[in-house]
């Protein structure tokens, strides 16, 4: 069994690798931080006796995504996890950073999903886990681009799920939608959370447990489940107002 994990050098990605290694999966791990990848690979080889392949790649580059697919075949689980955010007024945030975010959070996910899903359907087996966010269910003033990227992942995954269901395919797609998690995300996004942050290992264990159960929406934590319900029931303008107040507190100013 083999799993491919992007954004594997830290946070949820790193802990997903640890959980799958304990279940005997051989791993292909992708990230931009070579040293952290090598440290993780050494840890997993020694502790869990699994094969670990590491690739240092910037997946905001479409050609790198294609190269990754060409070099890593026969994947049983694809975990799209690489991504980052940014916080600030849309008219003031960095255009270049936002385009890089869109390429990483959307284009890379889309490309790898497309390529590996075709292979999985031919084999009649396989699982795809897209790491989205509770942000994907609501508007996100002051983090508008990030929220929009996660909404894309939620919606495309929902659509693909229905296609697979109608085809009676045994290939599975799921989305992991956590709230704030203690990871490097906060530093990259230039935010400070003022609400409870989940432990990334607990999120990873919960994710794999529910992936193995065949769940589509994987939402760790009662508070996050309630937030998803609220996003469905509460009028969008009100959600925008509340979200704006929450995001404003995050800004490091």
**3-state SS record for the chain:** CEEEEECCCCHHHHHHHHHHHHCCCEEEEEECCHHHHHHHHHHHHHHHCCCEEEEECCCCCHHHHHHHHHHCCCCCEEEECCCCCCCCCCCCCCHHHHHHHHHHHHHHHHHHHHHHHHHHHHHCCCEEEEECCHHHHCCCCCCHHHHHHHHHHHHHHHHHHHHHHHCCCCCEEEEECCCCECCCHHHHHCECCCCCCECHHHHHHHHHHHHHCCCCEECCCHHHHHHHHHHHHCCHHHHHHHHHHHHHHHECC
Q: Which of 69, 109, 116, 146 is catalytic?
A: 146
Which one is catalytic: 150, 152, 206, 250?
Answer: 150
Give catalytic status of residue 150 as yes or no. yes
- Active-site residue, 146 included: yes
Half-sphere exposure of 47 (CA within 13 A, CB side): 14
Give the pairing of strands 217-218 and 77-80.
Answer: unpaired
Q: Which residues are catalytic?
A: 146, 150
């Amino acid at each position: 069994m083999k799993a491919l994990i992007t954004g594997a050098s830290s946070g949820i990605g790193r802990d997903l690798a640890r959980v799958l290694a304990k279940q005997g999966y051989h791993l292909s791990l992708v990230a931009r931080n070579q040293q952290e990848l090598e440290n993780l690979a050494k840890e997993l080889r020694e502790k869990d006796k699994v094969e670990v392949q590491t690739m240092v790649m910037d997946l905001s580059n479409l050609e790198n995504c294609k190269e990754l697919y060409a070099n890593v075949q026969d994947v049983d689980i694809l975990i799209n996890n690489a991504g980052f955010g940014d916080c600030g007024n849309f008219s003031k945030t960095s255009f270049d950073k936002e385009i890089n975010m869109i390429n990483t959070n959307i284009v890379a996910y889309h490309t790898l999903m497309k390529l590996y899903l075709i292979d999985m359907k031919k084999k009649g087996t396989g699982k795809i886990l897209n790491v989205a966010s509770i942000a994907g269910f609501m508007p996100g003033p002051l983090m508008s681009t990030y929220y929009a990227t996660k909404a894309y992942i939620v919606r495309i995954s929902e659509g693909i799920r229905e296609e697979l269901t109608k085809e009676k395919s045994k290939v599975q797609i799921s989305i992991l939608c956590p709230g704030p998690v203690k990871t490097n995300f906060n530093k990259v996004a230039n935010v400070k959370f003022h609400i409870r942050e989940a432990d990334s290992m607990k999120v990873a264990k919960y994710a794999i447990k529910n992936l193995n159960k065949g769940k589509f929406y994987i939402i760790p934590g009662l508070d996050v489940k309630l937030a998803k319900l609220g996003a469905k029931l509460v009028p969008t303008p009100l959600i925008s107002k509340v979200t704006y107040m929450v995001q404003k507190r995050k800004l490091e100013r």
